[in-house]
Amino acid sequence: MFTVTRMSYKLVLYSLDISPPVRAVKVLARLIGLELEIRDLDMFGGEHLKEPFSKINPERIVPTLDDKGFIVWDSHAICMYLADKYAKDDKLYPKDLQLRARCNQRLFFDAASLFVRLRDCSLHIYQGGKEIPQDKIDPIYAAFDILEAFLSSDPFLVGQNLTIADISVAVTILPLEIYAPLKADKHPKILAWLNRVRQTIPFFDEMNVSLTKEYRDMLMGILEKNKQIA
């Protein structure tokens, strides 16, 4: 389905494996056959706050890509860049202006709605929360309702073909289910779409399921410790 990209050098990806945005970039890179040099950062130990990383990325976030000195971060921006520059065609990131606008909108929805809600719940645990309040869970389900509407007429988020929007959103959905499990009666189109993504990307589960479980176990472990603190 996709052609391997032959290059004389490897792009560098600053990484944290359990990060969903990092995994979205890794899934895309593998899909287009792009080899990456992975540089894992000990973010829990504060490595991302120190040089040399803080010098190349003032936001100090992962994923961050280094393409022979060109630095770009934010998984959505990286996926746009990689698909434009290295994919063999424009199916993953359409050049047609209307399709691209739809793809961008879905990517921005992932960034501003889905991932923000995931981050809010996770930060609540990191900051000592003993449970996830309902007012953080309800917005996740509200976002799921919108995603269900996006999938009302097409098999993928941007028409008939898998795009980088599907990759980004699917990778975010998995950890979101830690807090708000999808329901067959309310989200049938999302569940069918997620299976479609998995079938289209044969290694999707291999790259995501165990790390999502690791992410969940880490969060639940912190939650339990928080509950034990008087």
Residue 67 main-chain phi, psi, to 5 deg: -110, 85
HEC string for the chain: CCCCCCCCCCEEEEECCCCHHHHHHHHHHHHCCCCEEEEECCCCCCHHHCCCHHHHCCCCCCCEEEECCEEEECHHHHHHHHHHHHCCCCCCCCCCHHHHHHHHHHHHHHHHHHHHHHHHHHHHHHCCCCCCCHHHHHHHHHHHHHHHHHCCCCCECCECCCCHHHHHHHHHHHHHCCCCCCCCCCCHHHHHHHHHHHHHCCCHHHHHHHHHHHHHHHHHHHHHHHHHCC
Q: What is the pLDDT of residue 49?
A: 84
pLDDT digits (tens, 9 = 90+) for 15-73: 999 999 999 999 999 999 999 999 999 888 888 988 888 899 899 999 999 999 999 99
Residue 160 main-chain phi, psi, to 5 deg: -95, -10
pLDDT digits (tens, 9 = 90+) for 100-149: 999 999 999 999 999 999 999 999 999 999 999 999 999 999 999 999 99
Q: Report whether pLDDT(206) > 60.
A: yes
Domains observed in the chain:
11-86 (3.40.30.10), 97-228 (1.20.1050.10)
What's the average model confidence in pLDDT over 72-91? 97
Q: Report whether pLDDT(1) > 70.
A: no
Lowest mean pLDDT segment, chosen from 2-16, 35-49, 208-222: 2-16
What's the average model confidence in pLDDT over 151-164? 96
Please list the active-site residues. Answer: 19
Q: What percent of the chain has pLDDT over 70?
A: 96
Provide the pLDDT confidence category of residue 229 given band limits of 50, 70 and 90.
confident
Provide the pLDDT confidence category of residue 212 given band limits of 50, 70 and 90.
very high
Q: What is the pLDDT of residue 51?
A: 85
Strands (E), 70-225: 70-73
- Burial label for 224, CB within 10 Å (0-12, 13-18, 19+), is exposed
Q: What is the pLDDT of residue 7?
A: 58
